[in-house]
Amino acid sequence: MIKLSALISLLLISTVSSLDAAAYKGQKAYMDSCKECHGGGQELAVSKNIRTWEKIMDKKGEKLAEIHLSSKKAQDSHEYFESRKFTKDSKHLEDFLTEYAKDSGNVPACN
């Protein structure tokens, strides 16, 4: 009985922790999908404060996608912002951008 309880607890903990977004996953998504146009994460993340990033990334990054989709300069990114990949990445990107926002006091280690 104790082994069964331990197994259930372990499965529950691993499932719950895998559902949470993570700044390191957002950093990877940024490096894979955003770096080409926006450069290293330092410049973009510190361009806004935490509250602003939260507003932009609200509703699975709807506003961020809208900004890119309405810009002719961002035409190369339209496919990404219309994809399921962006929807999956959005929470992780939000964590990355808020973790390293102007008023966070943190500095990302990506170049």
d(CA 5, CA 68): 48
Q: What is the pLDDT of residue 42?
A: 73
Give pLDDT < 50 ranges for the chain. Answer: 15-19
Please, are residues 4 and 60 in contact by the beta-carbon 8 Å criterion? no
pLDDT of residue 104: 87
Give the pLDDT of residue 56. Answer: 94
Question: For residue 18, what pLDDT is reported?
Answer: 45
Q: How far apart are CA 97 and CA 109, in angstroms?
A: 13
Residue 104 carries which DSSP code? T
d(CA 104, CA 110): 16
The pLDDT score that the predictor gives to residue 59 is 94
List the domain boundaries for the chain.
Answer: 20-99
pTM of the entire predicted model: 0.74
d(CA 18, CA 67): 29
* pLDDT tens column, 79-105: 999 999 999 999 999 999 999 999 988
pLDDT value, residue 16? 45
pLDDT score, position 44 = 86
